[in-house]
Structure 1
Amino acid sequence: MKGYWHFAALAVGAAIVRIYFANDWIIIVFLLWISYLYFYGRLKKVPIFISLIMFFFFSLYIPPPTSQSSTALSSETAHYIGEIVSPVQLTQDKLEFVLEEQHSKQNILILYFPDNNKQTAEIEPVLDSFKYGASCMVSGSVELPNKSRNPAQFDYREYLLKSGITYQLILEDLTHVECDGSKFLERFYMLREQLLNHVESRFSAYTASWLTAIVFGDDSKMDSETEDIFQRWSLSHIIAISGSNIGLIVALFYFLLVKLNLLTQEKAQWLMVFFLPVYALLAGGDPSVWRASIMVVLFILLNKFKFRFSYTDILSIVFILLIFLDNTIMYHVGFQLSFLVTFAILLSKNWVGGTKSPFWQLLQISFVSQMVIIPIQFNYFSIFQPLSIILNLIVIPYFTVFVIPLMYILVPLSFLPNVFINLLDSLFFLIHQMIIAFIDLIDSVLYYPFLTSGFPFIAIIIYFGLFLLFMHDLERGMLIKAFRSGLLMTLLIMGIVARPYFSSEGTVTMFDIGQGDAFLIELPYRKGVIMIDAGSRFSFEDMNPTDSVYQQILRPYFYSRGIRELDSLILTHEDTDHIGSAEFIFKEMEVEQLIVSRYFDLSVLQKWSQIRKKPELVLVKGGDIITVSDQQLHVLAPDQDRASSNENSIVVFTEFGGVSWLFTGDITKTEESVLIQNYPNLSVDVLKVAHHGSSTSTDQDFIETADPRFALIPVGVDNSYGHPTPEVLETLEKFDVEILRTDQHGAVQFKYDDGGTFFPFLHKLRGEDK
């Protein structure tokens, strides 16, 4: 099999693709490919046989991405006995670990959220018993983790299922869990925690956050805004441990141990064989670290026993081995990116090696690395920044030459007196702040990303086929052919990104943001994007809006739909549950028009200091018309100042696909009465129920006059207000109005062309096309 292990790895990859996309056509394609290789003499019997075994074995061995065990656990309170099979993680917010239940063999995520004021007193006395491999008895009721309730929102349940975790159990008190014992690996996890605590105690919070991320794979202390920028510009690999880190460690060891005559080359190699797996554990066990560490260890061992394997063979063996040891690891984005980038660099080694200039070699590696991950980048993050190839060219040398070596050097130096530590700490802070400021400047000036929901399956196949042709032609110097392949790749990307501009379908989305309103209107052919309200949750400490709704719900959807700007943002009134996310939208997106009523408290807008581009402020009142492209929105209210934010809510009437809509903000029954007086012939198909279904709104006379077929109620699950009230529901049911509620249906989308259809995110409607 020497020289042919990549065929076995490709067979495993084909099995993964078949399972991930649930597409049995992959079996036929794989068999045809294997048959072609055999009958045309490209592959001998042994590699063919092993590749077939690999494909069918891993097709059965790897679980589907959302598979659940056939053994269901009861949701009633019970005692669960099992073993801790993950490192115990304790942060300021929570304590968590994974318990493998001994009877069902199911993994349960155990969570505990302490009162911050009592955290130390509550946790420290019992924390010593929570160890990897400990036998535990946990009392409580298991539950299924939360599913996503909005399109493009991160699906926590699916994420845990891909990690082999089916249930979660939230502890009410630490007395409900008793643990005893541990396993050998606990020593390494304890050492990791001790090193993290030591580093954080010796360095400033800024330096410690970078050191723990780069050396120990713990980015929990990293600034969230920095992480966002690095992710947007495809720089996340820099602040995570990667193969280059392992290369630097090996080089550093050899220099210190061999060049300084501390050890012979033979002993240094054996030391690396034992040290690298230990470091992989101390670094958090990220797949990219295991890949690089095992590859180095295999190279050393195989060379010692006079076996000669190529880099491609070693990479393929490690790929197969890691999946065999953990049959869910392929769902880890770090695993996918690490192997894909490494494979692409190996594929291009002749092309890169033909260039003498280190600068151009770095540019070539950056180019190949970025191009090969584009489908994954879109599928996971819905974003790709073309200029990231250039920015990587600037940033990677800085991190490779300065930051990463310094972080590793600081670990042993952390045991020296403070005078040395403070000097290096200050030096790093001074230099690094300037580089981060430079990246921030680039982000604010040159941020023009491609945004889309991801590549369809067939597009992924076509893209990687073109990429292989592109690299093949480049390596052989056939530049015209390579240009053609590269042009086709670019056109494919542009075509996928431009899909909304060629679609005649429009969309209205009622987001499930809890107890708040957020509606997004996407006009056909992307002629315009209009948002009506952008509510948020708020902090109970200072009552200020939080960015959680924007970060977790709105922004992922904007990215997935390729939305980079809003033509109009209509804020019906000043309440946080209707405008709280607006300041975060302004910070990251361009908004052409901000539309509020003439009676809106404009002092609220002065609090929004960070605005990417100041929008045109438009003040409206009843009788005005808002026009976006060819879409007209008629403002029906307010017609005068009613001295209340709710009663001054903007009311908008419009039509989408021949279906009439009425958006009512939080108006009360008084304003509803005024509406039917001013517009006695008012009739709508879809009514946005005012004030989340409060009894202060949705008067029977109003419903009888408007005669809606559908009622949309944005409302929080089990909210403390009791919304929607029984009175409102009875009124709507009396007139046979079909009710769509975010607490029951999640987000609700209305997709229209000539006509329209509602699509609840969580449940189907009782009707079909409407």
Structure 2
Amino acid sequence: MKGYWYLIPVSVTLGVLTKSQMNYWLLGLFLIWILYLYHKQRLGIFPILISLIASLFFTWYIPSPTQLENTAPHLPDKKEHQMTGKIISPIDEKSHSIQFLLKDNSHDNTVQVVYFNGKHNTASTSGRIHSLKYGATCEIKGIMEVPDQPTNPGQFNYRQYLFGQGIHYQIIVNQLSDLKCSGSGYMHRFYKLRDMLTTYVVTNTSESTSAWLSAIVFGDDSFLPKDTIELFRRWSLSHLLAISGLHVGLVLALLYFILIRLLGLTKENAQWTILLFLPIYAVLAGGEPSVIRASAMGFVFIAINKLHMKWSVSDVLSFIFILLVLVDKYIIYHVGFQFSFLVTFGILLSQKWLLQDGFSLFQMLKLSFISQLIILPLYFTYFFTFQPLSILLNMIIVPYFSFFLIPSLFILFILSPIKLIAAILSSLINVLQEYMLAMITYIDNSFSTSLSLGPLPLSITVIYYVIFFLLMKNLHYKNLTKAFGYGILLVAVLVSGAIKPYVSNVGYITMLDIGQGDAFVVELPHRKGVVLIDAGASFSFDSGEPTEKVYTQVIKPYLLSRGINKIDAIFLSHEDTDHNGSLSFIIDEFKVGAIIVSQFYELGKQEIDSLNKLGVELLRLNENTAVTIGGESFTILGPKKDRASSNSNSLVIYGRLGGKGWLFTGDIGVEEEKNILQEFPGLEVDVLKVAHHGSNTSTDDEFIRKLQPEYALISAGKNNRYGHPTQEVIDRLEKYDTTILRTDQDGAVQFRFKKDKEGTFYRQSP
């Protein structure tokens, strides 16, 4: 198998994809490929047999998320449970929660234990927290549940995320007295040491320095501002915040220098010291897959060197892949594991091309290019969007981190007891970090050209990687003409994904489930226009201001998953937060053509100035006027006059889409409904957006009787405190055989249509 160990990780990956996607053609293609290599006498029968056996074994051994969901124990809703088990993870203690994993003794299942809103200020409480240790045996009482499924397209699937880690359910603990733990495991000492070192860093360095020290040295980015983490993610720089091969390599080089040059150890003793250090550092650095992979590779290379064995880098990487998957069969679903191995594999695949120019800026550009290109399909799968200019930005930022920031932070940590030197170095780091962040922020504000495609289909992803492999192969052998051709093909694959909405004759109207609020997204066929009708948000009970939760968890993921970068117009029915609260977040990140409101909509000077600064047109439309977007007409039916109430002054919009008449009513009341019937007696409405979330102040019997809508859409929060929709409204709609679709029961509701042909409604929740 020497030189062919890479076949096993490939076969394992294809087996897992086959199992999770139910696409058996992948294994068929793999079989054809290895038989072709055998026919060409480039592969022996033994590697083929080992690869096939490994594929079958790991396909059986690694459960798919669907299997995990089906094998999770049935739980009565919201019932209190008691269990005994052992803590098998570090304790994640934050200001608002405590979390850890527990191995349940009775079912041998992994459970996530969560305690919210802990205020740790009593002696008994402090004692209970200190009893939470890795390896401790615990008796726990709490509400056991399986996390809800996402109710919107593109929304993060937390249930699948937990299942992908082998976590079957959560137990929510209401009070710390329901946590009774004792004892600890051997690994607790290392996690305790990590906590002590992190506390030492936070206590003895400035807030900014300690945040970067914790992230870079110990793999804990919780002290970094959320805006910084998001900025790095947006520009594909997140790998610099996660301890990876780059960090571990620099740590080993620094440690080797100290051991040999400063402490005078022999090379033999220095290597033994590093072998002992690497497993400990992997734990101290957080134990993420990327640091485990890098530490394991360093360990294996030193070990085989001492044993006078010769293994190729690809064989070592493959061996570690197999070992980690055998130890933890769920690790293959970890995003960090996938990114780490994929980038390393891409670099190995292109190492000869990378080394052709020696050390140079061009080499750094090539390294950045390969690293970004190899993970691109995964990036679209998990984040829906990519910044092409991140390739160039990585070329600038990676050397800065490699040659200054990472070494400086490790040196600062080592020299932190020497206050004067530590203060000088800390000040230098803070100044340069401010300049670095200012530069990235400037680029983000001035040159952001994000490419949003949404997840690529599996078939397109496979084609992408086949072309990528051929591109690297031809670069390796300096067949530049062929390489250029494959590069063009690679771009064509991405372009095909980008233009798909523009060649598709399918349109979508989606009522997003944002809880107690309205948010509709209209996508016209051939992407002729994208329109939002309201963009609500939740609000903070402390300040009364809109929060970004709805935007970041529902609206933004949906838009990006659909490949939407530009919104032609946003209709705002009225000023209430549950209808307009996400507007400021949207216009900050998306290009918006126009905001359309009624003549009575109140906008402050600051809001108007913000729209003008961003180049967003503000349109105030009167009753019985229309605006055309992407060839479709949207007619305003109200308000006719100022009724001195934001709800009553709601913008009422009518349009014909997918062969149906749509009426969006905001939060109007019975009087406004009567006015619409009087002013527009021949109105044909097939789909009614029920006013005010189904409140009994709207949806009068006469209104429904005269309009006779085929469908009624109700946007209401699950178990909301207002009792929406009321039973009266439900009864009225059912009286006239109207099909009711509501977000609190159906999740997001999507209507798919082709041009003027009648479409079909789909529920997100079963």
Question: Do the two structures share a fold, i.e. TM-score over 0.5?
Answer: yes
Say if 1:4 and 1:579 are closer, same or farther in 2 by CA, change over 3 A. Answer: same
Q: CA deviation at 1:83?
A: 1.1
For the residue of structure 2 that corresponds to 1:149, the secondary structure is coil
Following superposition, the deviation at residue 303 of structure 1 comes to 1.1
Q: Alignment partner for residue 84 of structure 1, among 71, 87, 96?
A: 87
Equivalent of 2:291 in 289, 292, 296: 289
TM-score between both structures, scaled by the size of structure 1: 0.96
Q: Distance in 2 between matches of 1:727 and 1:615?
A: 41
Structure 2: segments with no counterpart, 5+ residues: none
Match of 1:175 in 2: 177
1:637 Cα shift?
0.2
More off after superposition, 1-10 vs 37-46: 37-46
Asked if structure 1 preserves the Cα contact closer than 8 Å seen for 2:97 and 2:118, the reply is no
Distance (whole Å) between structure 2 residues aligned to residue 269 and residue 305 of structure 1: 12
The aligned residue for residue 139 of structure 1 is 141
Q: Which residue of 2 aligns with 1:38?
A: 38
1:98 deviates by 1.0
Amino acid of the structure 2 residue aligned with 1:420: I
Partner deviation per Cα, 1:216-252 (whole Å, 9 max, x = no partner): 1111122122222211111111111110000001100
Query: Which AA in structure 1 matches 2:31?
Result: L
Q: How far did residue 261 of structure 1 move?
A: 4.5
Contact 2:504/2:526 (CA < 8 Å) preserved in 1? yes
Q: Could you tell me which amino acid in structure 1 is paired with residue 35 of structure 2?
A: S
Q: Say which SS state the counterpart of residue 279 (structure 1) adopts.
A: helix
CA distance in 2, matches of 1:657, 1:74: 42
Q: Residue 361 of structure 1: CA displacement?
A: 1.2
Q: Which runs of 5+ in 1 are unaligned?
A: 764-770
Counterpart of 1:141 in 2: which secondary structure? Answer: strand
Tell me how far 1:50 sits from its aligned partner. 2.0
Q: What CA distance in whole angstroms lies between the structure 2 residues aligned with 1:280 and 1:607?
A: 52
Say whether the 8 Å CA contact 1:574–1:604 is kept in structure 2. no
- Which deviates more from structure 2 when the two are superposed, residues 141-150 or residues 290-299? 141-150
Specify the alignment match of 1:462 in structure 2.
Answer: 463
Q: Which residue of 1 aligns with 2:105?
A: 102
Q: Partners of 2:286 and 2:148 in 1: how far apart?
A: 26
User: Aligned partners of 1:299 and 1:757: how far apart in 2?
Assistant: 59
How far does residue 26 in structure 1 lie from its aligned partner after superposition? 2.8
Q: In the TM superposition, what whole-angstrom CA distance separates every residue of 1:599-631 from its partner, at most 9, and x where no partner exists?
A: 111128638859872311111121111211211
SS at match of 2:460: helix
Alignment map for 1:227-246 (pairs within 5 Å): 227-246=229-248
Question: Quick check: 1:192 aligned with 2:202?
Answer: no
Output the CA distance in 2 between the equivalents of 1:35 and 1:120: 68
Which range is displaced more, 599-608 or 11-20?
599-608
TM-aligned CA distance change 1:629 to 1:27, over 3 Å: closer
- Which residue of 2 is the match for residue 768 of structure 1? none
User: How far did 1:357 drift?
Assistant: 4.4
User: What is the SS of the residue equivalent to 2:439?
Assistant: helix
Mapped contact 1:589–1:612 kept (Cα < 8 A)? no
User: How many residues get paired?
Assistant: 761
SS at structure 1 position matched to 2:510:
strand
Alpha-carbon deviation of 1:269? 0.6
What is residue 422 of structure 1 aligned with on the other side?
Answer: 423
Residues in 1 aligned to 2:285 and 2:24: alpha-carbon distance in whole angstroms: 38
Report the CA distance between 1:2 and its aligned residue.
Answer: 2.0
DSSP-derived class of the 1:55 partner: helix
1:533–1:340: structure 2 CA closer, same or farther, 3 Å change rule? same
Whole-angstrom CA distance in 2 between matches of 1:708 and 1:181: 65
Q: Output the CA distance in 2 between the equivalents of 1:566 and 1:717.
A: 28
In 1: Cα distance, 2:358 partner to 2:171 partner: 58
Report deviation, 1:283: 0.9
Q: Any idea what the Cα deviations from partners look like across 1:58-94, whole Å, max 9, x if unmatched? A: 1111110232263614333221111111111100111
Partner in structure 2 of residue 367 of structure 1: 369
Mapping 1:329-728, distance limit 5 Å: 329-417=331-419, 419-603=420-604, 606=607, 609=610, 613-728=614-729
Partner Cα distance (1:411, 1:356) in 2: 32
- Distance, in Å, in 1 between the alignment partners of 2:565 and 2:223 is 29
How many percent of aligned residue pairs carry the same amino acid? 45
Alpha-carbon offset, residue 34 of structure 1: 3.2
Note closer, same or farther for the CA distance 1:225–1:522 as it changes in structure 2 (3 Å cut).
same
Find the residue that maps to 2:144 and give its secondary structure.
Answer: coil
Q: How does 1:117-136 map to 2 (within 5 A)?
A: 123-136=125-138
With over 3 angstroms needed to count, the CA separation of the structure-2 counterparts of 1:71 and 1:578, relative to structure 1, is: closer
Equivalents in 1 of 2:136, 2:480: separation in Å? Answer: 60
Matched, 1:310 2:308: no
Which residue in the other structure is 2:223 paired with?
221
* Counterpart position of 2:758: 755
Match of 1:114 in 2: 117
CA distance, structure 1, for counterparts of residue 272 and residue 160 of structure 2: 41
Measured against aligned partners, the alpha-carbon deviations of 1:276-303 in whole angstroms (never above 9, x if no partner) come to 1111111111111011101111111111
Question: Residue type of the partner of 1:348?
Answer: S
Distance 1:475 1:38 in 2: 23
Aligned to 1:26: 26
Amino acid at match of 1:88: I
Note the aligned Cα RMSD (angstroms).
1.6
CA offset at residue 10 of structure 1?
2.1
Note the C-alpha offset of 1:496: 0.4
Instruction: Assess, with a 3 A threshold, how the Cα gap between structure 1 residues 16 and 688 changes in structure 2: closer, same or farther.
Output: same
Amino acid at match of 1:488: L
Offset, 1:476: 1.0
Given that residues 621 and 635 in structure 1 are in contact (C-alpha distance below 8 angstroms), is that contact kept between their aligned partners in structure 2? Answer: yes
Deviation at 1:140, TM superposition (A): 2.2
Whole-angstrom distance in 2 between the partners of 1:761 and 1:159: 18
Query: Mean Cα displacement is larger for which, 215-224 or 312-321?
Result: 215-224
Secondary structure of residue in 2 paired with 1:96: strand
Residue type at the aligned position of 1:79 = Q
| CA gap 1:261/1:122 in 2 versus in 1, 3 angstroms | closer
Show the counterpart of 1:12.
12
Matched-pair contact (CA < 8 Å) for 2:16–2:64: no
Change beyond 3 A, Cα 1:432–1:252: same
Aligned partners of 2:72 and 2:169 also within 8 Å:
no
Equivalent-residue separation in structure 1 for 2:20 and 2:207 (angstroms): 41
